[in-house]
Amino acid sequence: MKTQTFPPVDQSHKKAFGPITTPERLLFGPGPSNSHPLVLKALSLPPIGHLDPFYVHLMSEVQELLRYAWQTNNRLTLPMSGTGSAAMEATIANSVEPGDTVLVAINGYFGNRLADMADRYRAEVKTIEKSWGEAFSLDEIEAALIKYKPSVFALVHAETSTGVCQPMEGIGELCHKFDCLLLLDTVTSLGGVPLFLDSWNVDLAYSCSQKGLSCPPGLGPFTMSSRAESKLNSRKGKVPNWYLDVSLLNKYWGSDRVYHHTAPVNMNFGIREALRLLAEEGLENSWQRHLANAQMLWDGLERLGLQLHVDRNLRLPTLTTVRIPEGIDGKAFTLHLLEKHGIEVGGGLGMLAGKVWRIGLMGYNSTSENVEKILALFKSELPKFRDNSDVAA
């Protein structure tokens, strides 16, 4: 047999790298949040096969715990192998066919992303819009449903760019009345804000692993109702996204356990532990903890003379938007907090870029001790920027 020859190995990229280390950070931005130590421990367990009987049993536990966290009995409830944006796209890919009218309510950055995704799946996209910091009224939604007659109405429950929590009373009933599916973004609400998907008549919802659940990013919880399943099953053609096709994923996450892709088993170890911790605390207790700590933060920031962007009755307990005072370099301040104190605070997105800071208190990070740290830093460090002091010194 002829000996195969190879060219010389290019050594130019071979360098002496040490083992990875990460800086100590307290993550008070819009996500991720710091992971619970028990979640990190679960992530570090030795991987096993994605069709191993132990892992198959764990998959069922993850599904049951997600149903609890979302307060739903939806059969098709699973963590997508991908970040929250993958789960967002899965809701669109599985529910939208070319020519479908999709109505998107936009009051922030992520409403725009939903509209963009629906357009890429060749939907007829219609929108209603509110200022970034406001929520939609039931009358506004009903008028749009009458006008556009959509097959899907997409709405952000917890708008991460603005800190607005959309009131949900009556919206699901309207969608049933006008025969359209209700699609809900719960990325910044799952685990930290009351969610009742079945009672609210929500048909499609998605979230992420790294915010209220305090698991690293990498999984996107997804759920669909029987109404949404019926629309999926009556499609004229295949779901155009193979990886996110729930009719295929159902064979893996359903009773058949037929191979679809190599699942990120350690990420599912992590989310299983995160969901277990949420169930151990209890949803009501978690919701109340997030609200109490958020109120403590709101009161403290206002005592410091800072103005919050959203009216109190619409504020998210998991994420607070603070208006940057006139004359303050907001980006320089957050960089100072990160480099000097190891504290991450987020900046604004889209039309709020440079206008607000975004402070996250999510999952494991939502504690009164952390609120005290944030307030103490704003009290001691922000005056240096007002006085144009040399904060780098």
**Residues 149-167: pLDDT tens digits?**
999 999 999 999 999 999 9
The pLDDT tens digits for 167-217 are 999 999 999 999 999 999 999 999 999 999 999 999 999 999 999 999 999
Cis peptide before 264 (omega within 30 of 0): no
271 and 368 assigned to the same domain: no
- On whether both 252 and 142 belong to a single domain, the answer is yes
Q: Which two structure tokens, joined as six digits, stand for 367?
A: 């504690």
Rounded to two decimals, the pTM is 0.95
What span, in angstroms and rounded, lies between the C-alpha atoms of 317 and 189?
9
Q: Is residue 208 part of a domain?
A: yes
d(CA 171, CA 193): 18
Total structural domains in the chain? 2
Helix then strand count (H, E) for the chain reads 12, 14
Which among 288, 112, 76 has a CA at the least distance from the CA of 197? 76
User: Which residues partner with 81 through β-bridges?
Assistant: 219
Q: How far apart are CA 175 and CA 135, in angstroms?
A: 18
Is 15:196 a contact under the CB 8 Å cutoff?
Answer: no
pLDDT in the model for residue 389:
47
Domain of 379: which CATH number?
A: 3.90.1150.10
Q: Which residues contact 63 (CB under 8 A, 6 or more apart)?
A: 77, 78, 253
Statement to judge: residues 227 and 199 lie in one domain: yes
CATH number at residue 132: 3.40.640.10
Q: Which domain holds residue 334?
A: 26-30+283-386
**Residue 14 domain-assigned?**
no
Are 209 and 316 in the same domain? no
Instruction: Based on the fold, state whether residues 221 and 370 are members of the same structural domain.
Output: no
Last residue within a domain, chosen from 246, 280, 314: 280
**Element housing 285 (H / E):** helix 283-303
Query: Would residue 363 count as lying in a domain?
Result: yes
**What CA–CA distance (Å, rounded) separates 92 from 228?**
11
Residues 142 and 205 in one domain: yes
For residues 104 and 205, state if they share a domain: yes
Residue 50 neighbours by CB distance under 10 Å: 19
Q: Does the structure show a pLDDT above 60 at 393?
A: no
pLDDT at 17: 87
Q: Is 345 a residue whose pLDDT tops 70? A: yes
Burial group, residue 318, by CB count within 10 angstroms (0-12, 13-18, 19+): buried
Domain boundary among 247, 280, 313: 280
Contact residues for 242 (Cβ-Cβ < 8 A; gap 6+): 248
In a domain, 393, yes or no: no
CA 328 to chain CA centroid, nearest Å: 29
**Residue 238 is assigned to a structural domain of this protein:** yes
97 has pLDDT over 60: yes
Distances (CA, A) of 131 to 101, 105, 160, 215, 378: 23, 11, 14, 32, 27
Per-residue pLDDT of 1-39, as tens digits, reads 678 899 999 888 888 889 999 999 999 999 999 999 999
Q: Which ranges of 190-264 would DSSP assign to H, the alpha helix?
A: 226-233, 246-253
